[in-house]
Structure 1
Amino acid sequence: LCLAEDLADLKQRLGRMLVALTTDGKPITAEALGVTGAMTALLRDAIHPNLVQTMEGTPALVHGGPFANIAHGCNSVLATRLALKLGDICLTEAGFATDLGAEKFFDIKCRQAGLTPDAAMIVATARALKYHGGVPVPELDRENVAALTAGLDNLEAHVEAVRQFKVPVLIGLNRYPSDTEREYAAVRERCQRLGVEVYVADVFGRGGAGGEELARGLQRLLATERSGFQPLYALDDPITVKLDTIARRIYGADGVEYPKRVERQIVQAEALGYGRIPICVAKTQRSLSDDPTLLNRPRGFTITVNELRISAGAGFLVAITGDITTMPGLPRRPNAERVDVTPEGVITGLF
């Protein structure tokens, strides 16, 4: 649904979903089972973007929430097109970091929808940089410029990843109450060396006013730099070449390893005609590698693909790496537990 251009396109995508294979290896699709119409009927209204209001009364479009670690991590193409039509500037989020949401936004969503992003904003925090520099979670509220400086290698990797796509980039540094000016100075110094602007944002604490400096910085970037956007790989590249390109140029890996079973799955996917579609890597969000314990900017590692799945409806191949599970998780107490309706019909617990 999130990649569908309209209802007719959604119906086609539902119809080409690969359900199974015959005993002689031929594909069985949802269309062959005669259920495409019924599925389209269920999703007829779901395809329309949701117009919502922020807490400051401004409009926003919320539509689709595929996780970037197990799916392509972007909102719907329809919502993005609507935002581009209704506003001067469209801001859209790609989940997690550049190795997941951004790479998939560029290589899957933008490529398929014909979108050319004018700029990219990397969101960072001093806390996360200290964590990548080796500080345990209970100690992240303490100033530690040395650890933060070490963790800046991770931020540098993300800046380099965005630049692989020839898109102008800036950094938004989300403020936490425990942040210090010495920590901000260390971030600014590294960013200056990288040739990228960084702006501290306090939208959580001050609302829209806390993001004005960042917004003006984005406007300046849009006015002074032009995007030369290009995807990372060609669709005609073999599956293994696409995976190797992502692993080396975005993750910083030395290469990709495939068990024999996965090698057979790759051969099968190409034989079925799915060799010329994008790759969607399912990978941990906690590391640039496929090992969540390898923090900062790991080097000297390889990515292991444990399974290759065909998502024919979405139009991409899913490469399952490491120990990632594709069942989304929830917090110990999901927000749904706090939502209720009073006898008078008043909804409570939304905020």
Structure 2
Amino acid sequence: MGDFAGVLRRGERVPEGAVYLPAGRDTALWGRLPAKHDAPVLTVDPGATVVVDTLSHEGLLPDQGSDPGAFFGSHGVTADAVLAEASEFAESGSRTADDGPHVVTGPIAVRGAKPGDLLVIDFLDFTPRVPYGVISSRHGRGALPGEMPPGPDNVSVFTRIGKDTAGTWRGWLPGRDGGRPTTGFPLAPFMGIMGVATDTDERAHSVPPGPHGGNLDIKELVAGTRLYLPVQVPDALAYLGDPHFAQGDGEVALTALEASLRATVRFDVVPEREALRSFGELASPLGESTDYLIPTGLDADLDEAMRGCVRQAVAILAARYGMEPHLAYAYLSAATDFRISQVVDLVQGVHAMIRMSDFEAVPGE
């Protein structure tokens, strides 16, 4: 996580010479994802590093008053600590009830990317832009619809960010409304939404993820990891949004700790032939960290999402390591964790953690 120094406003502390994309009404969409006919707001070559500001939707929505200044002010946030673009979006009237909640920065064209290739997004750094965030629970959504939240209204839990005695940044929650913080959990910032444009005339809703990526909500994709996305349209038309400060696998309450981030990312392209040789034919996005390959499965039915993830993992082990399917299946059962990414985004997600070092081990004599 980059150095956190209070409020990081649009255009502030951008490294000299950096390619920078702010989040604003002319550089971002609200509630929808880019489609094939959208014009890029930025065009870069493969290998380019871009500093991208992202904006959380929390504090902007109708059930929060559609007035970020008033919403955050009611929790003691001063006016100068509310990002200007939050108010700009809330006042714009550009989002309808049929749209998703998320603000998405982009699209970014990556020259030469074509369908069949993989777009690579390397996540180099995530820096918080504000010292607070929100965890929301809304009726009809989350893991316990109809049970939580317990009252008639939606619940938005304001969460302060601060250091513990060891100097670790944490989100702090009270045990009772209005009480002092009693629980602190470490921050691990990442992007909930990262994807490529869909090969459709209509813009996709921002909530359900799919082969294009989108609202994947995979908490492992922190700084130092990467994501491979099957390209659907020329130049990929990439985007980032739905910034998170922290999340547990499952994201059971509907949202995790959501707040605005500045992301530093690098874009690259894997040509189709090389992609097939390295990973087989990817049906869904693939994450990678220093230690793990992270295939995904996505479906409205969590059981089907699990099956899709297992099939994708078997195919990757066959392509990358030459394993026969029944042996790959056995390995996955013995050595790989399959995790629930989220159960709240209409299309549910499962991801696997394939330990790459297992394929570098040499049996003893």
Query: What TM-score range do you get, normalising by the shorter chain?
Result: under 0.3
Considering fraction of residues, name the structure with more helix. Answer: 1
- Relative to the length of structure 2, the TM-score reads 0.23
Higher relative contact order (CA 8 A, sep 6+): 2
Considering fraction of residues, name the structure with more strand. Answer: 2
Q: Which has the larger radius of gyration?
A: 1
